[in-house]
Structure 1
Amino acid sequence: MSTQLDVLSPTVTLRSGSSFLFSFFFLPREKREAIFTLYSFCRLTDDIVDAPAPLEEKVHRLSRWEQELKRSFNRSVSNSFSTIRQIAERFHIPLDYFLELINGMRMDLFQLKYRTFDELKLYCYRVASTVGLMCIQIFGYRDPVIREYAKNLGIALQLTNIIRDVGSDARMGRIYIPSEDLETFGVNEQDLLAQRYSPQFFPLMEYQARRAHRFYQLAEENLPASERRNMMVSEIMKNVYFHLLQTIQEKHYRVLDQVVRVSTPAKLGITLKTVLNNVWR
């Protein structure tokens, strides 16, 4: 555990190759470094869950990680989480956001399938919306409706991830598409696990995409014009991921045997367009 704590720094984010990395450079230095450190925390938390270790060991590591975080916030110990605590204090980020994120990661240890969308939505909130809520504290905002923007955008991004990763997740035994949806469209779990494109698979995925579109729309509806410049970085993220979703749709949801990605030139083009729209709008 000490090894992981010692590397809690912006360099972890740089090494992780985050899809969002390039957008952070539009932030002032203090905010950029805070975001990098926040993302390194998220990355390291995720690494505990995804590590090639026995379940019992990962459960123990995640609990230790959580306890060290709490102790740092309570100022009962000085450790590598002190940097996170200082960022949280500087930008008024509640400890609960961090704990909810950890709870979301813990769900990945114990829950490989989701019965309903309500269950999946809770997972998306914990692993993605919480990150958005932390980020907007660093970006800065005046209108409290931005919190709804962050919640809905986080869910939209995570649903897009789930659609993109249906095949790779299935290979790890994870099925995030709700069982109720599989039953409605007549898709067998074994088809996903075996990477078979049944005729019913495509309308199922179109339904998942429409759901993601709704959350992108909800995010847009909760972004006042007065906050667009403050949210420019998150708008870059949104537009890149929305483009990813559109690309998956254009490729007719061939996600069981390949991972659809957004090219670097496309990301740069989306970034430039987003910056111009948010500066001159």
Structure 2
Amino acid sequence: MIAPTRNEPTLAESYAHCRRLHRRHGRTYYLATRLLPGAIRPHVHALYGFARYADDIVDTRPGDTADERARALREWSAGFMAGLRGADPCGDPVLPAIIDTVGRFGLPVGEFEAFLASMAADLTVTRYATYADLRGYMAGSAAAIGSLMVPILGSGDAAAADGPARELGYAFQLTNFIRDVGEDLDRGRVYLPLADLDAFGVTVADLGTRQATPAFRELLEHQMARAEAHYRAAEPGIALLDQSSRPCVRAAHTLYRDILAAVRRDGHRVLERRARVPKRRRLSVALREIGRACAGR
């Protein structure tokens, strides 16, 4: 890890905490980060930890009302912004690492503000009328994270790499929405655009039956085709990244795309359970990228 510049034990513990969050909750992405140079890997964990921690405030605070979660998110967001101005993070487990990362790479604060606004939307918005509406939400969530990744991963042309990085964010998040339809429904949310449900003759009440009907499978295939288009738009951007970062992004691109294949193999039964990419496939992709990286060097 790069030597810390603030309170050393606190900063080191914060980076370690972010790595644990990443390993526990983002297994596919975490595996891909093992292909990154050791010097930048902690900063990718810090960015993931920031995003995950905010998401957990919104989604996994048992017993809290929506107002209590909203207040917690506002207070945590304010602490982050104050930390960027030099205030003490006050023992927060994630903020020292992400504040340090922002400073080291000059990450644009506006993308963090957009991300936090999308997290706040999850507390009040449970439906999206059109894909344009959903894309607006994703622009502030996964696409914003894509933009923030570019300075960390490095690029000889960061401006050109930004668009594909955002496309990959859209692809990843739409893949998650497809995989997690049932889990999101349990939280009272539907991320499949209502206009698409109408077009395929599916209602929100139909989703509640947890049946992968022919109409639902067609609806899901429509969403997967949209995700595939984002993956294709993102692919040219990999070559714009620093060579040492490309194996990680290629692996993540491949493995997240594989989730769509896993959904198909499981008969589109995402209302019942989460489709998973087999461990042997994940390891195979990682080993292939290690081999490519070694050959390149």
TM-score (norm 2): 0.86
Deviations 1:197-231 (CA, angstroms, capped at 9, x unpaired) = 33311111111110000000000133336755433
Candidates 211, 214, 228, aligned match of 1:196:
211
Contact 2:255–2:282 under 8 Å retained in 1: yes
Deviations 1:111-169 (CA, angstroms, capped at 9, x unpaired) = 11100101111222222122222222111111222111110000001111011011111
Candidates 13, 17, 42, aligned match of 1:33:
42
Q: Does 1:183 align with 2:193?
A: no
**Aligned equivalent of 1:220:** 235
Instruction: Describe the shift of the 1:24–1:6 C-alpha distance in structure 2 as closer, same or farther (beyond 3 A).
Output: closer
Task: Give secondary structure in 2 for the equivalent of 1:106.
Answer: helix
Which runs of 5 or more residues in structure 2 are unaligned?
1-10
Determine the C-alpha separation between the residues in 2 that align with 1:36 and 1:224.
Answer: 22
Instruction: Describe the shift of the 1:26–1:156 C-alpha distance in structure 2 as closer, same or farther (beyond 3 A).
Output: same
Q: Does 1:101 align with 2:107?
A: no
Contact 2:128–2:191 under 8 Å retained in 1: yes
Determine the C-alpha separation between the residues in 1 that align with 2:282 and 2:290.
Answer: 12
- TM-superposed CA distance for 1:107, in Å, is 1.4
- Write the mapping of 1:106-145 to structure 2, written as runs, cut at 5 A: 106-143=120-157, 144-145=159-160
Contact 1:205–1:253 under 8 Å retained in 2: yes
Determine the C-alpha separation between the residues in 1 that align with 2:259 and 2:274.
Answer: 11
Which runs of 5 or more residues in structure 1 are unaligned?
none
**Aligned equivalent of 2:162:** 147
Identity of aligned residues (%): 28
**Aligned equivalent of 1:73:** 84
**Aligned equivalent of 2:53:** 44
- TM-superposed CA distance for 1:45, in Å, is 0.8
- TM-superposed CA distance for 1:6, in Å, is 11
Q: Does 1:18 align with 2:33?
A: no
Letter in 1 for 2:117: N
Contact 2:179–2:270 under 8 Å retained in 1: yes
TM-score (norm 1): 0.90
- TM-superposed CA distance for 1:266, in Å, is 1.3
Determine the C-alpha separation between the residues in 1 that align with 2:43 and 2:224.
Answer: 32
Contact 2:15–2:46 under 8 Å retained in 1: yes
**Aligned equivalent of 2:4:** none
Candidates 186, 193, 199, aligned match of 1:171:
186
Letter in 2 for 1:18: G
Determine the C-alpha separation between the residues in 2 that align with 1:226 and 1:106.
Answer: 31
Letter in 2 for 1:66: S
Could you tell which deviates more after superposition, 269-278 or 64-73? 269-278
Determine the C-alpha separation between the residues in 2 that align with 1:10 and 1:262.
Answer: 26
Instruction: Describe the shift of the 1:274–1:29 C-alpha distance in structure 2 as closer, same or farther (beyond 3 A).
Output: closer
Instruction: Describe the shift of the 1:177–1:44 C-alpha distance in structure 2 as closer, same or farther (beyond 3 A).
Output: same
Q: Does 1:85 align with 2:85?
A: no
Candidates 253, 259, 262, aligned match of 1:247:
262
Contact 1:8–1:40 under 8 Å retained in 2: no
Could you tell which deviates more after superposition, 195-204 or 253-262? 195-204
Greater relative CO (CA pairs within 8 A, separation 6+): 2
Instruction: Describe the shift of the 1:228–1:190 C-alpha distance in structure 2 as closer, same or farther (beyond 3 A).
Output: farther
- TM-superposed CA distance for 1:196, in Å, is 2.6
Determine the C-alpha separation between the residues in 1 that align with 2:138 and 2:294.
Answer: 30
Candidates 43, 55, 58, aligned match of 2:66:
55
Letter in 1 for 2:170: I
Moved over 6 A (4+): none
Instruction: Describe the shift of the 1:127–1:55 C-alpha distance in structure 2 as closer, same or farther (beyond 3 A).
Output: same
Contact 1:236–1:274 under 8 Å retained in 2: yes
Determine the C-alpha separation between the residues in 2 that align with 1:224 and 1:36.
Answer: 22
